[in-house]
Homo-oligomer: A and B are copies of this chain.
Amino acid sequence: MSNKIELSEDVRLLASYSKALSHPTRLYILKKLSEMNSCCYSGDLVDEVPVGRSTLSQHLKELKYAGLIQGETEPPYIKYCLNRENWEKAKQLYAGLFQIDQTIK
Task: Give A contacts to B, CB under 8 Å.
Answer: 2-7, 11-12, 14-16, 18-19, 21-28, 30-31, 34, 47-50, 87, 90-91, 94-95, 97-103, 105
Q: Which listed residue (B4, B7, B48, B103) contacts A4, Cβ 8 A?
A: B48
Residues on B with C-beta less than 8 A from A24 are: 7, 11-12, 15
- Can you add 7 more A-B contacts, CB < 8 Å, to A11-B31, A15-B24, A87-B98? A3-B47, A11-B24, A15-B26, A18-B18, A19-B19, A19-B22, A100-B102
One of B11, B26, B28 near A28 (C-beta < 8 A): B11
Q: Mind listing 25 A-B residue pairs with CB under 8 Å?
A: A4-B48, A4-B50, A5-B28, A5-B49, A6-B50, A7-B50, A11-B27, A15-B21, A15-B22, A15-B24, A15-B26, A16-B22, A18-B19, A18-B22, A21-B22, A30-B97, A31-B97, A34-B98, A34-B99, A87-B98, A94-B98, A95-B98, A95-B100, A100-B100, A101-B105
